[in-house]
């Protein structure tokens, strides 16, 4: 059975996207990845790969198919527009590739360390698959941004799955801003209401899926027989959110933000291999930056930056290659 995925990115995230492709090639024996490229640099680089497992799609094709995206583009910033397009990429695939029975959206900064087969087994019999952030004590305040993470979202080609996908796309076209409201934040908080609004929604339970800075303190990492374990469970994929390049050879993981130091298995088996590969796959003249947060301003922003600097001194979270 072929697993169908889609992701979207620009030249800044090209290295992430190529890392994602590399990891899928290592751990999924039968897949197709629809790669939506949001500038010429990324599109040309992906086309040059000539990889039989990928389908490169230029963002103008997406906009021409859904012209309402062009209207939305005029009233939000670039990051907000990028979020707006998340459901549209899934919808485009379902509308134009009839062989796709289940489409899974992946953030470009995911990386697979093991086969996703166990996740797809969980999704059998369901129309929609979503995954919780699994916040811990130090990050549970971030629940205001949404209980679920858009890193992995699956839709089956049935009425229930397609209704949810269409509603999500329409919701995002109508409103997709980095503003915290009671029921909305970017493309993400809409997912909070899917379990009550749609049938056959599966909240993925495997703790090896979507390990990230916001939940890493929940787990004890170990390494056995060449495999990274999370509380004894194989790590399926890690979400490298907030990773950014400070200078040519120095990267920040932002782990200090959650009171975690970069060391041991987290350093040597997760971040170091990923960043070494990322350095090879990124465009040489492009500095990799995390998606910019613009929803915290004024005194709150100043205070947040000050506390983060203090934490970065107490918890080392940078890596030099």
Which sequence spans correspond to the domains of the chain?
3-208, 216-320
User: Which pLDDT band holds residue 321 (cuts at 50, 70, 90)?
Assistant: confident
More confident residue, 305 or 239: 239
Q: Which of 273, 254, 244 is nearest to 317 (CA)?
A: 254
The superfamily (CATH) of domain 3-208 is Spore Coat Polysaccharide Biosynthesis Protein SpsA; Chain A (3.90.550.10)
Location of structure tokens 């009233």: 75
> From CA 165, how far away is CA 89, in angstroms rounded?
10
User: Which pLDDT band holds residue 303 (cuts at 50, 70, 90)?
Assistant: very low
**Residues in Cβ contact with 225 at an 8 Å cutoff, skipping those fewer than 6 apart:** none
| Residue 307, pLDDT above cutoff 70 | no
> From CA 187, how far away is CA 123, in angstroms rounded?
22
Q: Which of 86, 58, 63, 88 is nearest to 73 (CA)?
A: 63
Q: What is the pLDDT of residues 90-103, one digit of tens each?
A: 999 999 999 999 99
What is the overall mean pLDDT for the chain? 93
What pTM was estimated for this model as a whole?
0.93
Kindly calculate the radius of gyration of the chain based on its CA atoms and give it in whole angstroms.
19
Q: What is the pLDDT of residues 196-234, one digit of tens each?
A: 999 999 999 999 999 999 999 999 999 999 999 999 999
């Amino acid at each position: 059975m072929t697993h169908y995925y889609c992701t979207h990115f620009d030249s800044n995230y090209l290295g992430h996207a190529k890392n994602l492709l590399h990891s899928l090639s290592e751990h999924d024996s039968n897949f197709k990845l629809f790669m939506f490229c949001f500038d010429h640099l990324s599109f040309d680089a992906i086309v040059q790969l000539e990889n039989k497992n990928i389908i490169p799609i230029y963002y103008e094709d997406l906009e021409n198919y859904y012209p309402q995206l062009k209207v939305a583009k005029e009233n939000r910033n670039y990051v907000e527009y990028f979020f707006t397009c998340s459901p549209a990429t899934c919808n485009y695939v379902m509308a134009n590739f009839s062989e796709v029975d289940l489409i899974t959206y992946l953030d470009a900064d995911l990386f697979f360390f093991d086969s996703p087969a166990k996740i797809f087994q969980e999704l059998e019999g369901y129309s929609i698959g979503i995954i919780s952030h699994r916040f811990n004590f130090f990050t549970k305040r971030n629940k205001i941004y949404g209980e679920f993470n858009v890193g992995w979202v699956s839709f089956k080609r049935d009425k229930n799955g397609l209704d949810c996908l269409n509603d999500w796309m329409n919701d995002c076209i109508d409103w997709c801003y980095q503003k915290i409201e009671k029921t909305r934040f970017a493309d993400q908080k809409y997912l909070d209401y899917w379990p009550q609004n749609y049938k056959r929604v599966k909240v993925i339970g495997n703790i090896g899926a979507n390990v990230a800075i916001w939940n890493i303190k929940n787990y004890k990492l170990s390494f056995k027989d060449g495999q990274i374990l999370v509380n004894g469970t194989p790590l399926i994929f890690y979400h490298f959110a907030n990773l950014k390049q400070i200078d040519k050879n120095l990267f920040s993981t932002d782990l200090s933000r959650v009171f975690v130091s970069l060391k041991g298995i987290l350093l040597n088996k997760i971040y170091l291999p990923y960043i070494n590969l990322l350095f090879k796959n990124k465009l040489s003249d492009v500095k990799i930056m995390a998606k910019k947060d613009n929803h915290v301003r004024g005194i709150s922003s100043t205070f947040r930056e000050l506390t983060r600097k203090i934490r970065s001194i107490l918890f080392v979270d940078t890596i030099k290659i």
